[in-house]
Structure 1
Amino acid sequence: MAVGYILLAMALPGSLYIGSIVVGICYGVRLAITVPTASELFGLKYYGLIYNILILNLPLGSFLFSGLLAGILYDREATATEGGGNTCVGGHCYRLVFIVMAAACIVGFFLDILLSIRTKNVYNKISMSKKSKKSLGTSSSQ
């Protein structure tokens, strides 16, 4: 996702389309893996609550990045017009916003790596229990 945001920040011809496609695909994959990840790591007892907490980042991130950060940085880049408003034309208007979002994605990537290292034992236990159930099923049917 960070690569997509960097492409958007570069504002080269066609980078809007390619960057948007990359970010959209990554966003869709992230939403798709949230469901099984939540159920595998935390179980199904309080699944609704846990899933909603994990999905809370969507409106929260939208508010923080699109509402606050993008608005503040756009106003900083914009020039005042005679009618009393601000205007900004060009790729520089949102460049810093995309760079900040790319940095947030890079931090998230490293946190995902940390999560995968910390949950390696959980997945090993799941794998071992499936193997032991298979071997018990095979030996009892013989």
Structure 2
Amino acid sequence: MAFGFVILALAVPGSLYIGSILVGICYGIRIAISVPTASELFGLKYYGLIYNILILNLPLGSFLFSGLLAGILYDMEATPTAGGGNTCVGAHCYRTTFVVMAIACIIGFGIKGLMSFYAL
């Protein structure tokens, strides 16, 4: 997923399609894998609660990264208009957002790897 965000940040021709496909596939795989992972790691006794906690990161991450982070960074890159709003045109508008999201993916991958290593 981090690779998809880096492709989006590069903003070369066609990168929007390739990056979106990579990120979308990763989200789909993550949702599909969370069901058997929750049952295998924690059992079926409290499966509903554990599964909902595992997928809580989807709406929470969407709010924090897409709502807050992307909005704040867009406003920092945008130029004020005469009507009182902000506008930004070009690849630089969301480049920092994509880089931050790629770094967050790498950090999450590293934490998951460490947790898996120490669980063995």
TM-score of the superposition, structure 1-length normalised?
A: 0.82
* Distance apart, 1:118 and its partner CA: 2.9
Give the match for residue 5 of structure 1. Answer: 5
Per-residue deviation at 1:32? Answer: 0.9
Separation of aligned partners in 2, 1:46 and 1:8: 39
- The alignment covers a number of residue pairs equal to 120
Q: Which residue of 1 aligns with 2:87?
A: 87
Which residue in the other structure is 1:104 paired with?
Answer: 104
Take 1:9 and 1:56, find their aligned partners in 2: how far apart are those partners? 26
Give the 3 Å change call, closer, same or farther, for CA 119–40 of structure 1 in structure 2: farther
Q: Deviations over 1:39-65 (max 9, x none)?
A: 111110000000000100011000000
Please report how far the alpha carbon of residue 116 of structure 1 lies from its aligned counterpart in structure 2 after TM superposition. Answer: 2.2
For residues 8-44 of structure 1, the C-alpha deviation after alignment (integer angstroms, 9 at most, x for no partner) is 0011100000000010111111111111111111110
Q: Which runs of 4+ in 1 moved over 6 A?
A: none
User: Is 1:60 paired with 2:60?
Assistant: yes
Alignment of 1:1-142 (within 5 A): 1-120=1-120
Letter in 1 for 2:6: I
Distance in structure 2 (CA, Å) of the matches to 1:32 and 1:20: 18
How many angstroms does 1:111 deviate by?
1.6
Query: Aligned equivalents of 2:80 and 2:45: distance in 1?
Result: 55
Aligned residues: CA RMSD: 0.8
With CA pairs under 8 Å and 6+ residues apart, which has the higher RCO, 1 or 2?
A: 2
User: Could you list the runs of 5+ residues in structure 2 that have no partner in the other structure?
Assistant: none
Identical-residue share of aligned pairs (%): 77
Structure 2 CA distance, aligned partners of 1:20 and 1:38? 27
SS at match of 1:94: helix
* Alpha-carbon separation, structure 2, partners of 1:103 and 1:46: 33
Distance 1:43 1:111 in 2: 23
CA radius of gyration, larger in: 1
